[in-house]
């Protein structure tokens, strides 16, 4: 399907029965990856057929106390970690067919009900919190998609999912606003800081670690916090699923001096109830840039949409792209009507640090094209090529805005 476009398919029903017997062995496999669950603890071992590298004990859940507030994480003085290594799992087939294979993995974590009254340790009373992961693999897709459903009944805690690697590196890479930012994993000197360094970082759609030869990307949908935990020279990606606290701001934290805001109770921030999380494991060769990590994470976050219509005569071709953008490192971020006038505003940004020479080819005939500022005011006129294409130069991680005037709208064209 073309980018920013569509393709029309006609589905013909078949009345032949499809015999798809679920295999006895509980594992997922396609041409790129092999996923084997640990039948006891429910973690995943992933083998990358291209790099011949394995990532063992992935999708491990670790829960710890959280005596912090909505601004800052802070463990209790006497923390106690609960891990899914210590529990048994139930694994069965959820789906097995020609388009998707999915395993259902169920575990139960017995979590401390809350913090103690003095908030210095986790309570001795525990409560059952079921966790169910649906692990899916698709033909032709080098990605392991996971949907995890958590029934949270506990308070004052942080739940994370861990992805272990054998990668030795001192740098992580994460999508930030209109760029990919690199961060050192080793802690800096923080004696004079207001907040203690804990290695917790923000992200947009993905975090990646690699050694230049191979790596692992964890893409997510709406999970903005990660940490790289070092263990025996191995890098473990920790993705935060839940932070459950009861105050907007508190003092007396181990990780911060004083208040960060008003000391209001916020019981709703304990996040009690059922929550659904989506994330994906993407093993790759080389580094994040050559492995097209940005595009892979975008693909996970912006799947194609399907629209059903009746059979009818149409004026448009069977497939079409409204605008074709090259190279693929230039990502569209906005396509809208101008705030003033009838022009169209197109905004894109460069996802790599190198300056890129790009082109935009349009389906509708262009009349005028300009570079513009974020305020949509014209700055520089662009030459329109005979092929109805304009060329642009975009610096590393730069945002550019185009102000476009078309000769005719789609409705006015005689097709």
Task: Determine what percent of the chain is predicted with pLDDT higher than 70.
Answer: 98
Residue 24 and residue 259 in contact, taking contact as beta carbons nearer than 8 Å: no
The phi, psi pair for 14, rounded to 5°, reads -120, 140
**Residue 314: predicted pLDDT:** 82
Same CATH topology for 24-301 and 322-406: the answer is: no
Give percent of the chain above pLDDT 90. Answer: 83
How far apart are alpha carbons 261 and 6 in whole angstroms? 48
Q: pTM higher than 0.85 for the full model?
A: yes
Q: How far apart are CA 161 and CA 242, in angstroms?
A: 10
What confidence tens digit (pLDDT) does each residue in 297-339 have? 999 999 889 999 888 888 888 899 999 999 999 999 999 999 9
Per-residue pLDDT at 192? 80
d(CA 246, CA 268): 7
41-73 pLDDT, tens per residue?
999 999 999 999 999 999 999 999 999 999 999
Which one of 3.40.50.1220, 2.60.40.2220, 2.40.50.100, 1.10.20.10 gives the CATH number of domain 322-406?
A: 2.60.40.2220
Q: Which residue has the tokens 């080098």?
A: 142
- Which CATH superfamily, name and number, covers 24-301? Golgi alpha-mannosidase II; domain 4 (2.70.98.30)
- pLDDT at residue 15 in the model: 85
- Is 60 exceeded by the pLDDT of residue 415? no
Distances (CA, A) of 114 to 17, 67, 132, 177, 240: 53, 10, 22, 35, 18
- The pairs formed by 77-82 with CB atoms below 8 angstroms and a separation of 24 or more are 77/120, 77/121, 77/254, 78/120, 78/121, 78/122, 79/121, 79/122, 80/112, 80/121, 80/122, 82/109, 82/110, 82/111, 82/112
Bridge-based pairing of strands 273-285 and 144-152 is: antiparallel
**Tokens coding 263:** 């000391």
pLDDT band at 191 (very low <50, low <70, confident <90, very high): confident
Each domain of the chain, given as residue ranges in start order, spans 24-301, 322-406
Average pLDDT of the chain? 94
Query: What average pLDDT does range 368-377 have in this prediction?
Result: 97
Distance of CA 314 to the CA centre of its chain: 37
184-193, 218-227, 265-274, 382-391: range with lowest mean pLDDT: 184-193
Per this entry, what is the length of the chain? 415
The pLDDT-based confidence of 410 (bands split at 50, 70, 90) is low
**Helix locations, 282-392, DSSP H:** 293-301
Cis peptide before 327 (omega within 30 of 0): yes
Query: pLDDT digits over 235-247, tens only?
Result: 999 999 999 999 9
Is the predicted pLDDT of residue 112 greater than 90, yes or no? Answer: yes
pLDDT of residue 159: 99
Q: How does DSSP classify residue 290?
A: T
């Amino acid at each position: 399907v073309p980018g920013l476009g569509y393709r029309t398919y006609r589905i013909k029903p078949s009345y032949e029965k499809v015999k798809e017997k679920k295999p006895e062995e509980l594992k997922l496999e396609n041409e790129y990856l092999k996923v084997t669950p640990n039948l006891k603890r429910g973690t995943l071992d992933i083998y990358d057929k291209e790099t011949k590298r394995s990532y063992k004990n992935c999708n491990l859940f670790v829960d710890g106390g959280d005596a912090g507030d909505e601004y800052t994480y802070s463990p209790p003085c006497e923390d106690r970690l609960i891990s899914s290594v210590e529990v048994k799992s139930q694994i069965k087939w959820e789906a097995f067919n020609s388009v998707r294979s999915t395993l259902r993995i169920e575990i139960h974590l017995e979590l401390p009900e809350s913090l103690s009254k003095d908030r210095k340790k986790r309570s001795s009373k525990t409560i059952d919190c079921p966790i169910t992961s649906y692990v899916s693999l698709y033909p032709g897709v080098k990605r392991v998609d996971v949907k995890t459903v958590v029934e949270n009944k506990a308070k004052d805690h942080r739940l994370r999912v861990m992805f272990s690697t054998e990668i030795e590196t001192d740098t992580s890479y994460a999508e930030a606003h209109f760029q990919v930012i690199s961060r050192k994993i080793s802690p800096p000197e923080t004696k004079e800081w207001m907040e203690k360094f804990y290695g917790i970082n923000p992200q947009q759609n993905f975090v990646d670690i690699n050694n230049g030869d191979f790596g692992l990307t964890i893409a997510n949908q709406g999970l903005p916090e990660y940490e790289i935990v070092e263990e025996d020279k191995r890098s473990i990606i920790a993705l935060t699923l839940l932070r459950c606290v009861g105050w907007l701001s508190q003092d007396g934290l181990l990780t911060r001096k004083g208040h960060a805001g008003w000391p209001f109770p916020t019981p709703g921030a304990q996040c009690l109830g059922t929550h659904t999380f989506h994330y994906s494991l993407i093993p790759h060769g080389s580094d994040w840039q050559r492995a097209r990590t940005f595009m892979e994470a975008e693909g996970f976050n912006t799947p194609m949409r399907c629209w059903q219509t009746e059979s009818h005569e149409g004026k448009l071709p069977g497939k079409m792209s409204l605008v074709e953008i090259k190279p693929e490192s230039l990502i569209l971020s906005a396509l809208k009507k101008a705030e003033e006038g009838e022009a169209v505003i197109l905004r894109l940004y460069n996802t790599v640090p190198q300056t890129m020479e790009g082109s935009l080819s349009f389906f509708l005939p262009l009349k005028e094209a300009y570079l513009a500022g974020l305020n949509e005011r014209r700055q520089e006129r662009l030459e329109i090529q005979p092929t109805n294409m304009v060329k642009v130069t975009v610096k590393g991680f730069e945002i550019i805005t185009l102000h476009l005037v078309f000769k005719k709208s789609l409705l006015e064209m005689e097709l």
